[in-house]
Amino acid sequence: MAKKEEPSNPEIANVPKHIAIIMDGNGRWANEQGKPRTEGHRAGARTVRQVAEACGELGVAYLTLYAFSSENWKRPKSEIQALMTLLERFLKSQTKEMHKNNIRLQAIGRLTDLPDKCQRALHESIEQTSQNDGLTLILALNYGAREEIIDGVRSVLRHVQDGLLDPAMLDPQIFSKHLYTRYYPDPDLLIRTSGEMRISNFLLWQISYSEIVISDKFWPEFGKDDFFKAVEEYSRRQRRFGGL
Ligand code: IPE
Ligand code: IPE
Ligand code: MG
């Protein structure tokens, strides 16, 4: 029997340098299958591998994935625990593979509020992949854009107090250097799965001029082909940044 053909790596003229994704719909996908929500999260982790692979094929430089928001602590304890366990397992089982694929792992968010085990696994993976120069995969964990902006303001105030910054010099470029994302360019493309038309406190500062693509697919069923379609849609857009 013929094997299902792998979606081919399309010829895309204009590949985004940085793609950010709000990975949404794990719970609804599981619900549709009559499975517990945690199964949706497990299936979602498989999509992460697929999408990271697709980014490697296209030559995308940065991929930021919204994995756990500041507001997700509102969920039942059991779901939070399942998500944290899944994160730890993902890091432990995927680091070798990431390293082999020349992926450099990074993380943004208030990481010190994550369970100790997750923090340890995270720092180990970051350390082990730190010399890689392929795709930079950035996990947003306990991430909230408003919290990030407040942490940025605090950092600016410290610099002013220490006499390192003249408040009159503060501008968007300098402020960007006080955010968690200071080492990365702004996302060119923002993708959200599961059809929701909202930002949910993700990268509010950085997406000022990002192109947005919403997919109706739930994250666990979002395949490489859907990802390539989103990037193709991006490459057809005309970005003007307020100019002509
Ligand atoms: C996204 O899927 C994963 C996280 C937010 C951790 P959801 O868990 O939000 O799934 P839905 O949106 O309830 O279907
Ligand atoms: C956004 O999804 C957060 C992540 C994908 C981690 P949510 O499911 O938490 O967002 P809302 O509640 O639908 O806005
Ligand atoms: Mg959701």
Average pLDDT over residues 121-131: 98
User: Distance between the two ends of the chain, CA-based, in angstroms?
Assistant: 53
66 lines ligand 2 (CB under 6 A): yes
Mean pLDDT across the stretch 215-232?
98
What is the reported pLDDT for 64?
Answer: 99
Ligand 2 atom with minimal separation from the 23 CA: 5
Residue 64: Cβ-neighbour burial (10 angstroms; 0-12, 13-18, 19+):
buried
pLDDT at 172: 98
Using a 6 Å cutoff on CB, does residue 198 contact ligand 2?
A: yes
pLDDT above 90 for 7:
no
Confidence of residue 1 (pLDDT cuts 50, 70, 90): very low
What is the pTM for the complete model shown? 0.96
Expressed in angstroms and rounded, the spacing between residue 2 Cα and the centre of ligand 1 is: 35
CB 7 within 8 A of CB 228: yes
Half-sphere exposure of 240 (CA within 13 A, CB side): 3
pLDDT in tens, 161-198: 999 999 999 999 999 999 999 999 999 999 999 999 99
Report pLDDT for 217.
98
Q: What CA–CA distance (Å, rounded) separates 211 from 103?
A: 24
State which ligand 2 atom lies nearest to the alpha carbon of 140.
6
pLDDT > 90? residue 6: no
Residues 13-51: tens digit of each pLDDT: 899 999 999 999 999 999 999 999 999 999 999 999 999
Share of the chain above pLDDT 70, in %: 97
Domains, the chain, in order of start with CATH, read 18-144+187-235 (3.40.1180.10)
